[in-house]
Amino acid sequence: MSRDAIPQRSDYKVFYPIGTRWADNDIYGHVNNVTYYAYFDTAANRYLIEEGGLDITAGDIVGYVVNSGCQYHAPVAYPDELEAGIRVDKLGNSSVRYGIAIFRKDESTAVANGHFVHVFVDRAADSSVPIPSQLRRALERIVV
């Protein structure tokens, strides 16, 4: 587990609770590494839905994940209460790179952090499009 430049809570703009589940634990007794990607996906999409008005079921525009990565700093396990911190590291014309970190509730140092990239796509045409203005405004609010 990396100990270099571990992100702090103050590095992030918005936070969402993440409930761990019994099924998140692996045979080693901690949350499995792949589960963090689900946490990242949940946090980014919740922000887009609540703050950007993204309609995930019937909207013309969808966000496709094209890249992601994660660094792990400390193990967590069910029933730990977690929070995902989210920010925008890079805002492009049709894509956004989020910085996301996972924290134990009320702790200031991340247990894991990473990135998550969405490309916005016209659902029917299946081709990239500029980020819609309502989504762009929401994303601009959390740019670092």
Tell me: the pLDDT tens digits for 87-107? 999 999 999 999 999 999 999
Q: Could you give the percent of the chain with pLDDT greater than 90?
A: 97
Instruction: Tell whether pTM > 0.95.
Output: no
Q: Is residue 3 part of a domain?
A: no
Domain count, the chain: 1
Name 68's Cβ contacts closer than 8 Å, sequence gap at least 6: 37, 40, 114, 115, 116, 117
Half-sphere exposure of 80 (CA within 13 A, CB side): 19
CATH number for position 45: 3.10.129.10
| pLDDT (mean) for 123-143 | 97
| pLDDT (mean) for 51-73 | 96
One-letter identity of residue 35? T
Whether the per-residue pLDDT at 6 is higher than 90: the answer is yes
23 and 107 Cβ atoms separated by less than 8 Å: no
pLDDT at 4: 67
Whether the per-residue pLDDT at 2 is higher than 80: the answer is no
Q: Which domain holds residue 97?
A: 9-140
Q: Is residue 4 part of a domain?
A: no
Interstrand relation of 112-122 and 61-72 (parallel, antiparallel or unpaired): antiparallel
| CA separation for the pair 30, 28 (Å, rounded) | 6
Q: Work out the mean pLDDT of the chain and round it to a whole number.
A: 95
